[in-house]
Amino acid sequence: MKTDSTFVDYKTPDLSAPIRVGQSVSTTADMEALVREMLYTLGEDPQREGLLKTPERVARMYGELLAGYRTDLDTLINGALFESEYQDMVVVRDIQFYSLCEHHLLPFFGRAQVAYIPDGKIIGLSKIPRIVEMYARRLQVQERMTHQIAETLQEVLAPRGAAVLVEGTHLCSVMRGVKQENAHMVTSAMLGTFRDNESMRADFFNQLRLPTQPPAA
């Protein structure tokens, strides 16, 4: 490691032992020290005024952006499953999400559209956006995140079907590489009746084309 009078040295965490997914391998202090080392490696002075608190801020930021690893699904649902005779499609549209691409650690963000066909149970409205956020707040690829949302809804509710459509803008394609600022990725996951029934899939996509605001009375 490079050191000089302006750099605070630190003890590198032991990364040789196997870890479980979501298990922390360092403390906040370790993260701050790693950010200082990165700044130094980039040719910056971590001790100058504008950067003095940057390691602390970055450590807090990653704690927030990756909070999904620490989210417990049962705690998130918190019993908000209710018996219901409702059997038609439930759609929650335009759920905003922000995530980090696992390939470059750059953000990708967009909107998720989620639907399910109840089979005796419905879920509290706020829980679907929270499920989306739980998976978005991890190092992700959009394809996997889309399926995780659908599969979790299927597991929790056992509905007749679940559908998820995600559209995202990836800064790893906008800021670097091909630099296509208008390119968007669209992914979908169809389970149960949405996979087996073409008319049900069509109904889902038709629902997404409805006006966002209801017509005036």
Q: Does residue 21 lie within any of the structural domains?
A: no
Check the CA dihedral 37-41-47-50 and report its sign. Answer: negative
| 115 lies in the same domain as 42 | no
Q: Residue 140: which CATH number?
A: 3.30.1130.10
SS3 of residue 20 by DSSP: coil
* Structure token pair of residue 164: 């998820």
Q: Does residue 46 lie within any of the structural domains?
A: yes
| 105 lies in the same domain as 190 | yes
| 51 lies in the same domain as 85 | no
* Structure token pair of residue 97: 């999400």
| 154 lies in the same domain as 186 | yes
Q: Residue 53: which CATH number?
A: 1.10.286.10
pTM above 0.95, yes or no: no
| 35 lies in the same domain as 123 | no
Q: Does residue 74 lie within any of the structural domains?
A: no
User: What b/e string do you get for 155-170 counting C-beta neighbours within 10 Å, with b at 16 or more?
Assistant: ebbebbbbbbbbebbb
Structural contact between residues 83 and 120, judged by C-beta atoms closer than 8 angstroms: yes
**The total number of structural domains that make up the chain:** 2
| 191 lies in the same domain as 162 | yes
Domain extent at residue 44:
28-65
| 120 lies in the same domain as 184 | yes
Q: Does residue 127 lie within any of the structural domains?
A: yes
Q: Does residue 156 lie within any of the structural domains?
A: yes
Distance separating alpha carbons of residues 114 and 163, to the nearest angstrom: 6
| 85 lies in the same domain as 177 | yes
Q: Of 8, 42, 65, which one is at a domain's C-terminal end?
A: 65
Q: Does residue 189 lie within any of the structural domains?
A: yes
Q: Does residue 118 lie within any of the structural domains?
A: yes
Structural contact between residues 147 and 131, judged by C-beta atoms closer than 8 angstroms: no
Residue-wise pLDDT for 151-203, tens only, equals: 999 999 999 999 999 999 989 888 876 666 667 889 999 999 999 999 999 99
Q: Does residue 215 lie within any of the structural domains?
A: no
Tell the burial category of 81 from Cβ atoms under 10 Å away from its Cβ (0-12, 13-18, 19+).
Answer: middle
Enumerate the active-site residues.
101-104, 142, 170, 172
| 58 lies in the same domain as 141 | no
Residue-wise pLDDT for 82-97, tens only, equals: 999 999 999 999 999 9
Any bridge partners for residue 140, and if so which?
Answer: 101
Residue-wise pLDDT for 111-156, tens only, equals: 999 999 999 999 999 999 999 999 999 999 999 999 999 999 999 9
